[in-house]
């Protein structure tokens, strides 16, 4: 083993151990307050940054990714990540059922734009449960290598006429449904920014399995064990306000408590659980009329 690999492995172990210890200390308020007070001083902050490495806040997704690359490969590039997504395509998780419910209520033919949809995991999973699956067409946006894999898989499974792949967000223009499931936090453009760039924005916008906090938007790094992933924790209130400014009403919201992104020493920036949100575009002038938009109005 090369000396550089040994040093890298030792640094990775240091970060994981320090993060685990600090998260355990956070359960005891006096110790947590002491640790946070010490880290607020300049020497303490420098020491915490070194000890925690990538397990800390960053000003941008790029900055977080640059630090993560010093420790371990990106999770998006690992074979283990692809195998994990293959398993996810076989059966829905509990957090998938709200999405299946809202998709099942859409009438007529509709197109879904799947942001960061890998090789079409959700298409293969959801079509088994949707009564309107025959009227659904699916477009996946992802990295070029993943898109090539998805195209081959679609041809092999005989569904190339039902699912297509794209490497540009312009493919979302004119679709009925914009879906960001487990992906929004890997993009440095916020959801309102993405939708504002479309000439014909979607009627339905569904966000699922996304870490949101109640503070300020901040970047950090997730540790999946077999790889690291720089991500952004968007301010939930700011995201909803941004969607409202574009003419979208929040129809429903749900929590996913088996997923979290915790930043040691920064509980105010952490996401103790993931969130799901369903938005519908409101006709011009509908805001302020007092008419409620509920899940019973597909």
Dump pLDDT digits (tens) for 39-75.
999 999 999 999 999 999 999 999 999 999 999 877 6
Please tell me the predicted confidence (pLDDT) of residue 80: 57
CATH number attached to the domain at 75-281 = 3.40.50.150
Task: Tell whether the torsion through CA atoms of 263, 243, 204 and 139 is positive or negative.
Answer: negative
Q: Are 140 and 119 in contact (CB under 8 A)?
A: yes
C-alpha 291/C-alpha 104 separation (Å) is 24
Give the pairing type, strands 204-213 and 228-235.
parallel
Model-level pTM?
0.90
Task: List where CATH 3.40.50.150 sits in the chain.
Answer: 75-281
Please tell me the predicted confidence (pLDDT) of residue 72: 85
| Residue ranges for the chain with pLDDT beneath 50 | 285, 287-298
**Which runs of E-coded beta strand occur in the chain?**
110-115, 136-141, 163-166, 177-181, 204-213, 218-223, 228-235, 248-256, 274-281
């Amino acid at each position: 083993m090369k000396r550089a690999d040994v040093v890298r492995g030792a640094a990775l172990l240091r970060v994981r151990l320090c993060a685990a210890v600090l998260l355990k200390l956070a359960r005891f308020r006096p110790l947590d307050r002491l640790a946070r007070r010490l880290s607020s001083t300049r020497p303490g902050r420098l020491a915490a940054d070194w000890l925690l490495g990538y397990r800390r806040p960053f000003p941008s997704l790029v900055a977080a990714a640059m630090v993560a690359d010093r420790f371990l490969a990106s999770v998006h590039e690992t074979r283990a990540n692809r195998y994990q997504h293959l398993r996810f395509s076989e059966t829905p998780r509990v957090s998938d059922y709200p999405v299946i419910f809202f998709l099942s209520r859409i009438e007529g033919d509709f197109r879904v734009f799947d942001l960061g949809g890998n090789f079409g995991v959700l298409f293969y999973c959801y079509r088994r449960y949707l009564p309107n699956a025959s009227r659904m067409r699916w477009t996946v946006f992802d990295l070029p290598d993943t898109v090539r894999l998805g195209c081959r898989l679609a041809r092999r499974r005989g569904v190339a006429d039902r699912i297509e792949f794209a490497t540009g967000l312009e493919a979302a223009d004119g679709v009925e449904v914009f879906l960001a499931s487990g992906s929004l936090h890997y993009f440095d453009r916020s959801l309102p920014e993405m939708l504002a760039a479309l000439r014909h924005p979607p009627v339905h916008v569904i966000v699922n399995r996304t870490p949101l906090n109640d503070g300020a938007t901040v970047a950090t790094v997730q540790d999946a064990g077999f790889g690291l992933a720089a991500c952004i924790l968007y301010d939930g209130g700011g995201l909803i306000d941004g969607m409202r400014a574009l003419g979208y009403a929040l129809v429903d919201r749900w929590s996913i408590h088996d997923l979290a992104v915790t930043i040691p020493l920064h509980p105010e920036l952490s996401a103790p659980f993931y969130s799901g949100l369903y938005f519908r575009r409101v006709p011009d002038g509908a805001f302020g009329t007092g008419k409620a938009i509920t899940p019973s109005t597909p």
